[in-house]
Amino acid sequence: MEQSTFGEVNQLGGVFVNGRPLPNAIRLRIVELAQVGVRPCDISRQLRVSHGCVSKILARYNETGSILPGAIGGSKPRVTTPNVVKHIKVYKERDPGIFAWEIRDKLLADGVCDKYNVPSVSSISRILRNKIGNNGSPNQNQAPYENKNAQVVAAAAVAASSQLYNPQFQMYPYSCPAPQTIPSMPPSQMTSQPQMLNSLNNLNNKPQMSMPMSNCVTPCMVRAWATSPHSVNDILGFRHPQQGMPQTAPPMHHDTPSGGQMGQIGQIGQYNNMNYYGMNMKQGMSPMYLQS
């Protein structure tokens, strides 16, 4: 369908794809303009992005330091890991009359779970009913891990989840590289917002700047469980407005924070000299996030 192929046009004349994030380049530009004192309403008009979206992106940036959208799709990490089920089973065996809410409290008290990943009372009840049931054996009642390979996978999942969870921050962080020193970027490629770049670098595998990447977890990353393969160069497909447009065509593909798990965004149509979110589009360029 033509409409979905080329996206839609909002009241300001900007092109967008319903349900999909704005390109990171636009997100970054919104933040940059705000930081040089441009009012949100002017940013909205200039980039042809709704003021609600500008407001949301700026609010998120102010709160978290990240310009990136959240992880779309997928499910939360399972909280009813085999380890948790095992503990529930133990509690039930020790005290057959124990209530689900008591089990929940004990899981917290014993440090098996914390307040962020403790199963709900209904989940515990379901575990008691389905996995422990009458005989107390989680393996005799359609156990979720029916073979050795599955058990290995489950064990790996538990290990991964325990590593994913950062007790220091009490959150599940977005994946990000361990603190490391990375090659330097020519100053000409650096924007005027190094802290923003650092924020971006934290979410990308390809190192771009020479600075140690530590404390890479931002509060907005609480609910991320996927990796991002995208480079900062992919994201920064344009220069700071004061520096004009890049010599080379900006990357016309879409970046997402949840990386390879996200949908593959390809080229859809050709926009010829179209003003795309206030950015001059050279002939042959494609909108960076329209999907096929």
b/e per residue, 56-94, with b = 16+ CB within 10 A?
ebbebbeebbbbbbbbeeeeeebebbbbbbebbbebbee
Q: Which residue's CB is nearer to DNA, number 207 or number 258? A: 258
217 binds DNA (CB under 7 A): no
Q: Which residue's CB is nearer to DNA, number 14 or number 207? A: 14
Residue 247 beta carbon to DNA: minimum distance, rounded to whole angstroms: 27
Residue 1 beta carbon to DNA: minimum distance, rounded to whole angstroms: 9
Q: Which residue's CB is nearer to DNA, number 20 or number 92? A: 20
16 phi, psi to nearest 5 deg: -145, 160
Site string for DNA, 28-67 (x = CB under 7 A): -----------xxxx------xxxxx-xxxxx--------
Residue 27 beta carbon to DNA: minimum distance, rounded to whole angstroms: 6
Q: Which residue's CB is nearer to DNA, number 91 or number 277? A: 277
What's the distance, CA 132 to chain centroid?
35
Structure tokens at 48: 């042809």
Q: Which residue's CB is nearer to DNA, number 63 or number 105? A: 63
87 binds DNA (CB under 7 A): no
200 binds DNA (CB under 7 A): no
Residue 131 beta carbon to DNA: minimum distance, rounded to whole angstroms: 14
DSSP 140: S
226 binds DNA (CB under 7 A): yes
At residue 162's C-alpha, the angle toward residues 170 and 165, to 5°, is: 25
Q: Which residue's CB is nearer to DNA, number 51 or number 240? A: 51
Q: How many residues bind DNA (CB under 7 A)?
A: 46
The SS3 of residue 98 is coil
**Residues in Cβ contact with 198 at an 8 Å cutoff, skipping those fewer than 6 apart:** 209, 211, 213
Question: DSSP assignment of 45-72, as one string?
Answer: HHHT--HHHHHHHHHHHHHHS--S----
Q: Which residue's CB is nearer to DNA, number 11 or number 134? A: 11
Q: By C-alpha distance, which of 258, 253, 264 is closest to 228? A: 258
What's the distance, CA 71 to chain centroid?
3
267 binds DNA (CB under 7 A): no
Cα–Cα distance, 153 to 167 (Å, whole number): 23
Site string for DNA, 244-263 (x = CB under 7 A): ------------x-x--xxx
78 binds DNA (CB under 7 A): yes
Over its C-alpha atoms, the chain yields an Rg (Å, rounded) of 24
DSSP 165: S
Residue 151 beta carbon to DNA: minimum distance, rounded to whole angstroms: 16
Residue ranges binding DNA (CB under 7 A) = 4, 10-12, 14, 16-22, 27, 39-42, 49-53, 55-59, 69-78, 223, 226, 256, 258, 261-263, 265, 291
